[in-house]
Structure 1
Amino acid sequence: MTGSIDGPGAAGPARPPIPTREQARAADRVFGDRRELADRYVGHLATSGIERGLLGPREVPRLWDRHVLNCAVVEELIPAGVRVADVGSGAGLPGLALAIARPDLRIDLIEPLERRVAWLDEVIEDLGLDHVRVHRDRAETAASTIDVDVVTSRAVSALTTLVPWSMPLLHGSGRMLAIKGRSAGEEIVKAEKAIRRAGGVRPVVLTAGDGLLPVPTTVVAIDAAPAGTRR
């Protein structure tokens, strides 16, 4: 998929969006001395990411606020030095955004589609993210080989489906962090039985990026309970 973001029929490849002053300030805060890597990642999203269909061309002007910063601020909810699994990574959101912001994390990206896995591998190599691995696998079967402290996701599925996929990756200890929209609270209510069956406890709606982003990121957090303590 090629073409400019300036409109239908315009020639030339899409160009990475220039962040606004507010977005640049937020990016500097979140990424620190790794800001240049974040710029390069946005460049990949705006070019090869669009060309290979990982994102739609209309998303290019919104890459910084709606996608990269929206995901990266979730790093404030993740403890230092833990292992993270990102379910349904797609274009690396939130997994690669978190990897750039937090080099102390070990991150496993779980993605079933080969073309997306190939793109993720290319971006990881180009950015030198040696603390990130990509697994071509489905979330519901990945728990046999992956054991992490935190599971992240964004725009993958409703909680009723997402919880049974995510919680097994924690093996009874850790936290699931799912980026959601305004209906997060309603999703928790609908998923009460699924959460309980999967060994989840204390579901709560949190926000990340307060005071940094115009619209903070909404996150559903669910803790994992050891098998012996479940009811």
Structure 2
Amino acid sequence: MSIYTSFDYLSNEPFYLEGIGTVKCPTLRDIRRITYRVFELYLSLVTITRDSLLKLSGMEEQFSAMSGSEQEAASLFHLLLYKNPELMMGMLKFFLLDEVEFNAETGRFDISSASQEKIPMGSVGSDNFELFQEEMKYILGLGQKESLAPKFANETARKLYQKLEQHREDQKKNQKADENYSLDNMVRKYCTHNKVGINILNVWDMTYYQFHSMFSEYCSGRHYDFNDSMAANTFSFKKSSDYKPMEYLKKLNM
């Protein structure tokens, strides 16, 4: 179980994964150095599952014909290693701060410290590759850790919560499909309109997690600014309790 929380992921400090080594969340500058196309390939290795890989490779029938022991041996790690070992090596070297070497005898990637002594830190193989994937998804902001379900005062509150959660998930899906939410467009928009002094010259030192997290907050802030502006130009109220930023919609629809 990971010791890190959402607070830790906001930092650009490295993360130690027990039995593996020390990993980082890359900055936008790191991504630019390898190009975004290569980074997308690395992301696909972090997020792919064995079932989806078999489907993409057209190996589903071949896999189904294997015996139980053969299927167990054909782990996601071994399939990816067989398919493109250079890509696997490149991905591990990109995210790990330690030295990475492939051990042909064990069929694993050995991880050692970057110092001259090369102290063994861990390794990546079929037994812990999916753990590496899971942790990297959290570090990159691609996954969300399970939290305790909130307690509801009544059934109406529970249904409202479910609708809000569903709306949030739908928004995420739309963003992935919408070209306006490509990373380059998000960088342009954030650097043009944010209120915290981040511009096109200094945005590159933000980590991938930091940028996506702050962009999400930026979108929420812009939404509330718009509501405030509409309310300020639509209503005249004396008490702060009379402030209802969405009330202008009713006036527009009258």
Q: Same fold (TM over 0.5)?
A: no
TM range (shorter): under 0.3
Which protein shows a greater Rg?
2
Compute the TM-score of the two structures, normalised by the length of structure 1: 0.25
Higher strand proportion, which one? 1
Higher helix proportion, which one? 2
